[in-house]
């Protein structure tokens, strides 16, 4: 690694259209993130409050907000290298301006002539104590290489903007080339992935998308996954989308649903319980798997997210999906527990979480996950399959939870997942008996799953 500073810039097709109004919305959203709001909510509120933004401007705003969190550590290092550390810039508003200018310079290749209309006085955020000439210096002054280690975990944590504790923990698990590939993948703006409905019709759907002028390609590691290979969102206006043949879903989430299938045969006609259903992405996929002769029951502790799941099931007229409380787990052939976790595998989509996760919180998640499995174990009927899944990269939330569960709760055994995926895919996806989808190998993030059969 010759330099810390990025050598390539954001693709113009994905950048959208920079403007003063778009920059204002991005800065306001980033301020909200720094004050503790989740990035998704901060962005939604900023776009709602912004007036007159076109589609390309909205795309720029969304990207800029994610990028400022995604590269926060490196951007702040650049500010310190130029003599303007955040500690010397008292106001958060001023810190966001400096961070924004450095992002436009380092990651977009923009000059001060291009950046200045977006940020120069008056505005775009208030209060403000720094003048335009300081921002011009930030945009134009030579940027030397800072004094950081030439290699190792600390340099990778700096280059890819991750907390040291997390990179050090991952460095214990993976050699440096693999670690760098994982961090680089988590630093990328995620592509748009879909699940094809019904299963097994991917070639047909890709052909129809091509006829409508949408560039898309199959994802090799997941049977029904497609990636949209362009920045526009024309796919949402296609006939195939309006017919309900595509569902937005991460590749890892699709693999977790696959992990619920029998080793032989299909889920058709079976009853599946989705315990931590969230907004219902996996619930819908499971409904397609069991078919109208089967049944999916779903629940979640968040009423708001469960309401979204209900609405999505209603829109697709999935009458064999229901949301009873409590869930009748004793009737289920498969129980999916997509457990609350640190989300270290989904940091590409939620980069603000980098700075909120701690080693302590990971330990707390482990206790919550283990307690949830113990609570459910007694309700699962003999012979049923309990699928435990997370979007975490850390064994404390994955292998260790499974090991501790098996030690505390008799009667369960681990079923290897490799036979389900087949030799070619298993070589990429499986680690021992588990699904372990790593960001460098699987597009869209990192996921884990284990199959636990009750005797």
Residue keyed to tokens 């206006």: 237
Neighbours of 105 (CB within 10 A): 23
Cβ proximity of 237 and 247 under 8 Å: no
Longest CA–CA separation in the chain, Å: 71
Cβ proximity of 377 and 345 under 8 Å: no
Cβ proximity of 16 and 63 under 8 Å: yes
Residue 352 assigned ligand-binding role: no
With 0-12 / 13-18 / 19 or more C-beta atoms within 10 angstroms meaning exposed / middle / buried, residue 409 is middle
427: enclosing H helix or E strand: helix 418-429
Q: How far apart are CA 249 and CA 265, in angstroms?
A: 24
Distances 103 to 66, 162, 350 between C-alpha atoms, Å: 11, 16, 18
- Is 260 considered catalytic here? no
Structure tokens at 206: 């890709």
Structure tokens at 294: 């089967």
Cβ proximity of 286 and 280 under 8 Å: no
Residue 13 assigned ligand-binding role: no
Structure tokens at 137: 């210096």
Distances 431 to 355, 396, 398, 418, 428 between C-alpha atoms, Å: 29, 16, 12, 9, 9
Residues 108, 260, 276, 391: which is the catalytic one? 391
Residues annotated as catalytic are: 391
| Binding residue positions | 300, 338
| Binding residue positions for S-adenosyl-L-methionine | 300, 338
């Amino acid at each position: 690694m010759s330099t810390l500073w990025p050598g390539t810039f954001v693709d113009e097709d994905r950048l959208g259209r920079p403007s003063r109004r778009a920059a204002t919305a991005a800065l306001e959203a980033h301020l909200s993130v720094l004050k503790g709001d989740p990035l998704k909510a901060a962005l939604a509120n900023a776009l709602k409050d912004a007036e007159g933004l076109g589609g390309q401007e909205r795309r720029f705003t969304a990207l800029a907000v994610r990028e400022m969190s995604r590269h926060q550590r490196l951007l702040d290092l650049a500010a310190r290298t130029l003599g303007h550390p955040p500690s010397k810039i008292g106001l958060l508003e001023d810190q966001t301006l400096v961070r924004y200018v450095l992002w436009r310079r380092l990651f977009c290749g923009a000059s001060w002539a291009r950046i200045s209309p977006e940020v120069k006085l008056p505005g775009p955020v208030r209060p403000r104590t720094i003048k335009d000439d300081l921002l011009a210096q930030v945009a134009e002054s030579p940027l030397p290489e800072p004094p950081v280690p030439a290699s190792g975990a600390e340099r990778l944590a700096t280059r890819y903007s991750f907390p040291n504790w997390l990179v050090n923990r991952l460095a214990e698990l993976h050699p440096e080339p693999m670690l760098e590939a994982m961090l680089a993948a988590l630093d990328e703006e995620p592509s748009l992935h879909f699940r094809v409905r019904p299963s097994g019709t991917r070639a047909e759907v890709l052909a129809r998308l091509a006829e409508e002028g949408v560039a898309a390609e199959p994802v090799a590691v997941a049977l029904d996954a497609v990636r949209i290979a362009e920045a526009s969102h024309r796919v949402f206006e296609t006939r195939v989308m309006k017919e309900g043949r595509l569902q937005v879903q991460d590749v890892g989430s699709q693999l977790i649903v696959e992990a619920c299938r029998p080793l032989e045969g299909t889920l058709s006609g079976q009853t599946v319980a989705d315990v931590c259903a969230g907004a219902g992405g996996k619930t819908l996929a499971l409904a397609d798997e069991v078919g109208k002769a089967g049944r999916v029951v779903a629940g979640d502790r968040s009423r708001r997210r469960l309401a979204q799941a209900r609405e999505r099931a209603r829109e697709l007229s999935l009458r064999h999906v229901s949301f009873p409380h409590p869930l009748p787990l004793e009737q289920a052939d498969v129980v999916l527990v997509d457990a609350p976790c640190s989300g270290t595998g989904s940091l590409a989509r939620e980069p603000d979480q980098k700075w909120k996760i701690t080693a302590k919180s990971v330990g707390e998640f482990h206790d919550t996950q283990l307690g949830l499995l113990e609570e459910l174990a007694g309700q699962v009927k003999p012979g049923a399959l309990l699928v435990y899944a997370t979007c975490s990269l850390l064994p404390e939330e994955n292998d260790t939870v499974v090991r501790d569960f098996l030690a505390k709760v008799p009667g369960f055994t681990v079923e290897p997942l490799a036979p389900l995926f087949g030799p070619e895919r298993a070589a990429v996806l499986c680690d021992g008996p588990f699904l372990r989808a790593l960001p460098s190998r699987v597009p869209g993030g990192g996921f884990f799953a284990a199959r636990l059969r009750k005797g």
